[in-house]
Amino acid sequence: MSFIELKHLNKFYPISGAKDFQALKDINLSLDKGELVSIIGESGSGKSTLMNLLGGLDSQFSGEITVDGKKMSTFKDQDFVNYHKEKIGFVFQSFNLVSHLSVLDNVTLAMTLSNVDKKTRNERAKEVLKQLGLEEQYHKKPSQLSGGQKQRVAIARALVNDPDIIIADEPTGALDSQTTDQVLDIIQEIAKTGKLVIMVTHSEKVAARSTRVVTIDDGKIIGDVRQGELQTHENTFGLEKKAKSKNLSFFAAIRLALLNMKEKLGRNILIALGGSIGIMSVIVMLSLGAGVNDYLTKTMNANVNPLVSEVKMPIARGSNASSSVAADSSVMATTPAGTRPSGPPAGVTQSDPFAEENLQELRNIPHVAELNLAYTSFTIGSDNVIYEGSKYAFMTFGTTSGMTDSNILYGTFPAEGEILVTEGIANQMGATAEEAIGKEVTLSVTIDGEKLEKNYVISGIYTAGQSIGAFESVYISSESFDLLTAENNLEVKPNVVYLVSDDPKNTQAIKDEVATLGYRGSSADMLASTFTKMLDIFTYILSGVAGISLFVSAIMILTVLYISVVERTQEIGVIKAIGGRKKDIRRIFVSESFLIGLFSGLLGVGIAYLITVVGNIIVQNLFDTAILNMTPAFAIFGIVTSIIISMLSGLLPAQKAASLDPVEALRHD
């Protein structure tokens, strides 16, 4: 049985609106190893069609092609891939070398697609190139070679995997007569090693060097002439042992992508720069939001005890949001009916008092080490500090539970008979903050609907720092508060609880549990939460606007990769002809989009970092603070986002490249 057998082979090309065109008509042919066969015929005779079918570039035919006992009609996609890698090598008239690869990389390309290790494939390629007289040309690009050298490189690429069949399509068509003879000598030597060499040509000179000439005309074989036998010798181009074919690895695809990107370095730098602008914009917006948020949190935390969480009762359903008191008589002070109103006067806001079951529920929260009771109220226009006959209004009144040393601007915490006042009250009294300490004043305050007055000495000046919600305030100790209410026959339940955690790390978890149970936190916490949400919204909006440039960069990458597919159509055809799978083609192009995304992301992160550093220096000099906080998470987010967008943009061009017909791709100019 011959190595290749063609039986009743027919090939039809569909023509729109007309009967199919028959390019090959009932071809019957047997070919064996060691033959140097020329298939000759005029243009349009069907010789190229026959070559494409023999080479497995076209699998649509009727009849049968049998290669080494295997019927090509039964081949699946992977069988054709293996056929191209192991059985056949192509030599093209126009050389079809990959312009951005060196001579060595062009020859090793077939082995790269088979995932042969670098050392092995380089040694094998150098061995074949040396036999073809190209040992000094390893690192040159195809553009630096003569026509004869290019064809020898193409022959080396066809031989490197030691195939059984060499198909040469017009191998001397682009060469002068002297170089033609040199190339034909090499082809004869290849045939003498026992390989089946098939040359498709219209040249009588080429056919004269063959052992067999098959003439084809109008799709039919009209002649088959044997011209003698070649004297075979040892296969000097052969491999000692053929490795089992594998597939292109991810890292090999990355390397091929890098080599191509290097060829178009300027264009790829501009693409990466364009993509980086969007990434940089998003990262800067996120950094700005995080920085402002951190500034607010840091400022507020500087004025509170990190172990303490303030808790208030939830606003009763149906009550006014600005005024809520308990209706239960046990909570109210025991005074004769009709002597005071049923709630606080207008302008007074008090939280509901805590019942014992509420306190027990709070004690049971994990990590609560201590529970302190306190009282607070908020008024508008009814509470005053009286000094030398003048009234100085304040809004917030309460006990000092939960305060830290940072809340004392001057002086000390109040003892019994003493109060803290804000710096604003001290200044209104006509004294500096320090001069106000020690002065005796009258405190006029509404507690549980009763107007109470008592003389106190100012022990210190209270400050809320730069935190949100700082009003003129007065504070007394819990002991002084109990004494004041007892002297006026009032029984006032605590309406604020301070939970002390066992570790600062657990404070936020306690606050979260308090919210889950339905209680309210401090006014400062609620204000901070509101500002944080507003800030997050603005940050996301600004990031979204900045993200528009990401969409633009995605379109840019998509367009450039489509252009790249067109530019490299012939290269894609070559890769398929030497055993590249559709998956390999996709992997190479997706790898390019991955690298573009990676470089864009890294560049965007670098620019964003530079902006944050310079921006913080400027803001620090102007406002003594930094408001740009670029975290590692933002950098990682930027890089990952860039890669994802770039790879998604590259999917369509990659699929287009993978779906190209190898025959049409090889014909592309």
206 vs 300 pLDDT, higher one? 206
Q: What pLDDT, on a 0 to 100 scale, did the predictor assign at position 467?
A: 44
For range 473-493, the mean pLDDT: 90
Largest CA-CA distance found in the chain, in angstroms, rounded: 135
Q: Which residue has the tokens 């192009």?
A: 589
Q: Is the pLDDT of residue 283 over 50?
A: yes
Predicted pLDDT of residue 295: 80
pLDDT digits (tens, 9 = 90+) for 121-162: 899 899 999 988 888 889 999 999 998 899 999 999 999 888
User: What's the rounded Cα separation, in Å, for the pair 592 and 100?
Assistant: 15
55-68 pLDDT tens trace: 999 989 999 999 99
pLDDT computed for residue 595 by the predictor: 92
| Residue 212 pLDDT greater than 60, yes or no | yes
Amino acid identity, position 517: L
pLDDT for residue 345 is more than 60: no
Query: In terms of C-beta distances under 8 Å and separation of at least 24 residues, what long-range contacts does 93-96 make, across chains too?
Result: 93/169, 93/170, 93/171, 93/173, 93/174, 94/174, 95/142, 95/147, 95/150, 95/151, 95/153, 95/154, 95/174, 96/154, 96/570, 96/573, 96/574, 96/666
**Short-list 428, 454, 442, 460, CA closest to 389:** 442
Write the pLDDT tens digit of every residue in 229-257: 877 767 767 665 665 667 788 888 888 88
pLDDT (0 to 100) of residue 170: 87
Domain ranges of the chain: 4-246, 263-297+532-667, 305-328+343-520
Q: How confident is the model at residue 409 (pLDDT cuts 50, 70, 90)?
A: confident
* Segment among 95-109, 142-156, 203-217, 458-472 with least mean pLDDT: 458-472
User: Distance between CA 379 and CA 560 in Å, rounded?
Assistant: 67
CATH of domain 4-246: 3.40.50.300
- Calpha distance 264→268 (Å, rounded): 6
pLDDT at residue 320, rounded to an integer? 43
Instruction: Encode 189-203: b = buried (16+ Cβ within 10 Å), e = exposed.
Output: bbbbbbbbbbbbbbb
593-629 residue pLDDT tens? 999 999 999 999 999 999 999 999 998 888 888 888 8
